[in-house]
Structure 1
Amino acid sequence: MKYQAVFMDRDGTIGGTGHFIHPKDFTPYPFSLEAISLLKSIGLRLFAFTNQHRISRGEAQADDFIQEFAQLGFDDAYICPHEPDHHCDCHKPAPGMLLRAAREHELDLTKCIVIGDVGSTDMLAGAAVGATKILVRTGWGEGALGKFRDSWSETAPDYIANNVWDAAIWIKEQI
């Protein structure tokens, strides 16, 4: 198989607007559940990877997100709880969450896919490890392709999808 796993961002990619929504109030887009099912049905492992600095502010708990991702069907979840200025190795665009997942699940990240709506975080994290990068137009995606394109001009997505369902179909066609 060409790909081993898919890493998927949460806010703006799976659901929401790109802004923080507490897991108890978060609703995935209707097509997101279908996309998750499709990716799993073709034998891919599925991992969430998300920056959630509201955890460090006490506005949510990591367990809230872990439970949410488990209910959505993800195999595991990687969550950065730090503020952006904390300078940790896990806050996207740093690739720490991807590298940790690779160690824990014996993945070759060059055989993995990153799906997200933010070029300056999701796409740069994917580029740092040589993953295939899919930018979705939902959430912050349109802005990432337009107004904010200069903030991640050193890389380009391998595919631009309308949403995660479109991304899942593209992945299936690549296998």
Structure 2
Amino acid sequence: MQGVQAVFMDRDGTIGGDGHFIHPRDFELFPFSLEAIRLLKQNGIPVFALTNQHRIARGEAVEQEFVDQFASYGFDSSYICPHSSGAGCECHKPQPGLLRKAAQEHGLDLTRCAVIGDVGSTDMLAAHAVGAVKILVLTGWGSDSLHVYRDKWADAEPDFVAANVLEAAQWLLGQVDKDVP
């Protein structure tokens, strides 16, 4: 992959938690997540959060709490869908609205970006819709997504399946290195 312009990371199940909603005040990162973010940024790759958080629409959390949390982890920006899954918005993954918004705001070619997530039927389909590199992690819902729920996203083959977000970042950087003469 030549010149990765940005990496988008899902939250629940990808950088921490168990795949279920956890309020920002109670959310715990996996021990390797900060290292993954640091590694990408050290190599000049912006890292953006990309997450569905329908509990905001229910009044169970406030979007700013997520924005502040992502900033504290070192994310360059956060793209959060606050709507319920049935709202019909363009920003709720698997819709690619948040990716397109980020591309417009940061001048990105999404085919030169990567999405790292644990859910094939949301994260991988959103990445697939814009031609981004698709990296599925086995944390959170990842293993079930790859096996039990694979039929829900059969047309979106991941480019890489990683044990966790750090392995995903390392693989991605290895792909970049292969393009350098």
Which residue does 2:19 correspond to in 1? 18
Shift of residue 71, structure 1, vs aligned partner: 0.2
TM-score w.r.t. the length of structure 2 is 0.96
What CA RMSD, in Å, does the superposition of the two structures yield over aligned residues? 0.6
Which residue does 1:51 correspond to in 2? 52
Counterpart secondary structure, 1:102: helix
Q: Following the alignment from structure 1 to structure 2, what is the Cα–Cα distance between the partners of residues 157 and 103?
A: 25
Percentage of matched positions with identical amino acids: 62
Shift of residue 151, structure 1, vs aligned partner: 0.4
For residues 2-39 of structure 1, what are the alpha-carbon distances to aligned partners after superposition, in whole Å with 9 as ceiling and x for unaligned?
21000000000000000000000001000001000001
1:4 and 2:5 correspond:
yes
Deviating runs (4+, > 3 A) in structure 1?
A: none
Shift of residue 154, structure 1, vs aligned partner: 1.1
1:94-109 → structure 2 map (5 Å cutoff): 94-109=95-110
Which residue does 2:89 correspond to in 1? 88
Shift of residue 66, structure 1, vs aligned partner: 0.1
Q: What one-letter code is carried by the residue in structure 1 that aligns with 2:131?
A: G
Which residue does 2:179 correspond to in 1? none
Shift of residue 155, structure 1, vs aligned partner: 1.1
Q: Following the alignment from structure 1 to structure 2, what is the Cα–Cα distance between the partners of residues 68 and 153?
A: 33
Q: What one-letter code is carried by the residue in structure 2 that aligns with 1:61?
A: V
1:16-165 → structure 2 map (5 Å cutoff): 16-165=17-166
Q: Following the alignment from structure 2 to structure 1, what is the Cα–Cα distance between the partners of residues 31 and 77?
A: 21
Shift of residue 46, structure 1, vs aligned partner: 0.5
TM-score w.r.t. the length of structure 1 is 0.99
Count of aligned residue pairs for this structure pair: 175
Structure 2: unaligned runs, 5 residues or longer: 177-181
Q: Following the alignment from structure 1 to structure 2, what is the Cα–Cα distance between the partners of residues 129 and 154?
A: 14
Q: Following the alignment from structure 1 to structure 2, what is the Cα–Cα distance between the partners of residues 154 and 135?
A: 14
